[in-house]
Amino acid sequence: MIHILLVEDSPTDAQIIQSIFEHADKAEWQVTHVERLSKAIEICSFKSVFDVVLLDLRLPDSAGLETVTSFRSHIANIPIVVLTKTNDEELGLKAMVEGAQDYLIKDEITISRLVRAVRYAIERGLILKQLHESETNIREAFLKEKESNNMKSQFIAMISHEFRTPMSTIRASVDLLQAYPDEIASEQNAKYLKRIENAIEQMLKLLDEILFLSRNECGRVKLCPRPIDLDIFCQEIVDVMQLSMGEEHNLIFTSSGDYSQAGMDEELLSCILTNLLSNAIKYSPKNSNIYLNLSSHNHTVIFEIQDEGIGIPEKDQIHLFENFYRASNVRGIQGTGLGLAIVKRCVELHLGSITIDSQVGAGTTVTVTLPLTPHTHEQ
C-alpha cells in the first residue's frame, strides 16, 4: 500500500483527489489529508510513513515556492508532487528546481495522470536518495583517502626527523673516534660510545613502534594472556628503568593486595607500563618522584602512573591517543607521538580502559584499568 499525504486547503479539490484514488484502486492507496503546511511538517516529522506528498502551493500559512522550500527544509526524504492551478504551470516547474519531483495542474488531473505522477515521484525520490547515498559514500571515501595521504605524509616527515637526529649523533661520534683514535681519553671514548648506544636504542624503539602499528593495522596483534604475578612484574620494570636513568628521578612502586594469580599478556602489559613510565620520566623535572601504584576493584586491576611534570593542556587531552599527536607544551622534548596510541591499543586488547587527569604545571596521572583475568569480561 502506498501512503499519501495530501496537503490541500480546498475541501472541494481535496475531495476530488481522494475520490480519484478510490476509483483507481482503493486497496492500493491510503490518503491522509491536512489543510496547512505546518500540520504537514508536524505529521511528517512525527510519522515517517508517507511515500509521497501532494502539496498545494497556495495554503493558509504559506504560498508559492516558499511552500516547497519550507517543507523540504524540514522534511528532506519524502518525494513531493506539487499541485498548481492552470496559470501556475511555470511555478510548478520552478518548484521542481526547488526539490519537488513532479507537478500536476489541478484542472487537468485524471486517474492515469495522478497515478503516474505519484509512482514517478516515488521512483525519482528513490533514485535521488541512491544518488545522494552514492555521493555521500564517494565523499567519505575521498576524505578517508585524503586523511590517509595526510597520515602518510606526516608519517614520512616524522620518520625522517626522528631518524635524522640519532643518525647525526652516531655519525658525529664515529667521525670523532676515527679522526682522533689516539688522542681521545678512555673516559671521553666511553662517552662517545654511550651516545652511539643511546642513538641506536632510540632508533630501535622507533622501529618497534612502527612495527607494532603495522601489525595492529593488519590485525596481527593478538592478546595472549598467561598467569602473571603483577607485583613481581611491576617491580622488575621499575627496577630496570631506575637502573637505566640513574639518580635523575625517583621511581616509587606501591601495591595493595595479592596479584599473584592475575592473567595478562606480558608483552602488551610491558608496552603499556614502559611507555607510560617513560613519558612520566621524559616530561618531569630532575629529582622528582614518579609513582606506579597498583590496586584492585571489582575483579579489575588498576595501574596508576603519577608524575610531577609539566602537565598537559586541556585542549590537547582529547587528542593524546591519536597517532603522531603531541601536546602543545612539549617545548622540543623529543618524541614521536606514537606511544600513547600504542598504549591505548594494548589496553583495548585487554578489554580495559585508560584515562588521563592532568593540569599544566601540576603533573599528570594516567589510570589504566584491566580485567584481573582474561575471563572477567566473558563471565
Question: What φ, ψ does residue 18 adopt, rounded to 5°?
Answer: -65, -40
Which range among 6-10, 118-122, 202-206, 237-241 shows the weakest confidence by mean pLDDT? Answer: 202-206
Confidence of residue 376 (pLDDT cuts 50, 70, 90): very low
If asked whether residues 301 and 336 sit together in one domain, one would say yes
Query: What's the predicted TM-score (pTM) here?
Result: 0.52
Cell 484542472 appears where? 107
If asked whether residues 209 and 261 sit together in one domain, one would say no
Count CB atoms within 10 A of the CB of residue 292: 22
**Per-residue pLDDT at 377:** 40
If asked whether residues 34 and 156 sit together in one domain, one would say no
pLDDT tens by residue, 174-201: 777 777 777 776 777 777 787 787 777 7
Q: Give the span between the Cα atoms of 49 and 377, in whole angstroms.
A: 41
Q: What is the CATH number of the domain that holds 193?
A: 1.10.287.130
Let me know if residue 132 belongs to a domain.
Answer: no
What percentage of residues in the chain have a pLDDT greater than 70?
86
**Per-residue pLDDT at 304:** 96
Cα torsion at 232, 236, 239, 240 (round to 10°)?
180
**Per-residue pLDDT at 237:** 92
- Closest alpha carbon to 282 in 329, 314, 235, 318: 329
Residue 221 above 80 pLDDT?
no
Domain membership of residue 157 as a residue range: 148-217
Let me know if residue 35 belongs to a domain.
Answer: yes
pLDDT (mean) for 316-322: 88
**Per-residue pLDDT at 378:** 40
Let me know if residue 143 belongs to a domain.
Answer: no
Last residue of a domain, one of 109, 140, 168: 109
Residue 273 above 90 pLDDT?
yes
If asked whether residues 193 and 72 sit together in one domain, one would say no
Q: How many domains does the chain have?
A: 3
**Per-residue pLDDT at 163:** 63
Let me know if residue 162 belongs to a domain.
Answer: yes
- Closest alpha carbon to 106 in 4, 1, 9: 9
Count CB atoms within 10 A of the CB of residue 45: 10
Let me know if residue 48 belongs to a domain.
Answer: yes
Let me know if residue 130 belongs to a domain.
Answer: no
If asked whether residues 331 and 288 sit together in one domain, one would say yes
Let me know if residue 134 belongs to a domain.
Answer: no
If asked whether residues 240 and 365 sit together in one domain, one would say yes
Last residue of a domain, one of 179, 199, 217: 217
If asked whether residues 42 and 185 sit together in one domain, one would say no
If asked whether residues 210 and 323 sit together in one domain, one would say no
Let me know if residue 253 belongs to a domain.
Answer: yes
If asked whether residues 205 and 272 sit together in one domain, one would say no
pLDDT (mean) for 312-324: 87
**Per-residue pLDDT at 214:** 65
Confidence of residue 281 (pLDDT cuts 50, 70, 90): very high
**Per-residue pLDDT at 22:** 81
What DSSP line would sit under 27-67, residue for residue?
TTEEEEEESSHHHHHHHHHH----SEEEEESEETTEETHHH
Q: What is the CATH number of the domain that holds 82?
A: 3.40.50.2300
Last residue of a domain, one of 61, 90, 109: 109
Instruction: Look at 163 and 135; give whichever has higher pLDDT.
Output: 135
If asked whether residues 368 and 242 sit together in one domain, one would say yes
Residue 32 above 50 pLDDT?
yes
If asked whether residues 36 and 94 sit together in one domain, one would say yes
Q: Give the span between the Cα atoms of 129 and 77, in whole angstroms.
A: 8
Confidence of residue 27 (pLDDT cuts 50, 70, 90): low
Which range among 24-33, 117-126, 175-184, 293-302 shows the weakest confidence by mean pLDDT? Answer: 175-184
**Per-residue pLDDT at 38:** 92
Confidence of residue 149 (pLDDT cuts 50, 70, 90): low
If asked whether residues 314 and 367 sit together in one domain, one would say yes
**Per-residue pLDDT at 186:** 74
pLDDT (mean) for 197-212: 72
Residue 375 above 60 pLDDT?
no
Q: Give the span between the Cα atoms of 258 and 296, in whole angstroms.
A: 9
Q: What is the CATH number of the domain that holds 278?
A: 3.30.565.10
Average pLDDT, the chain: 83
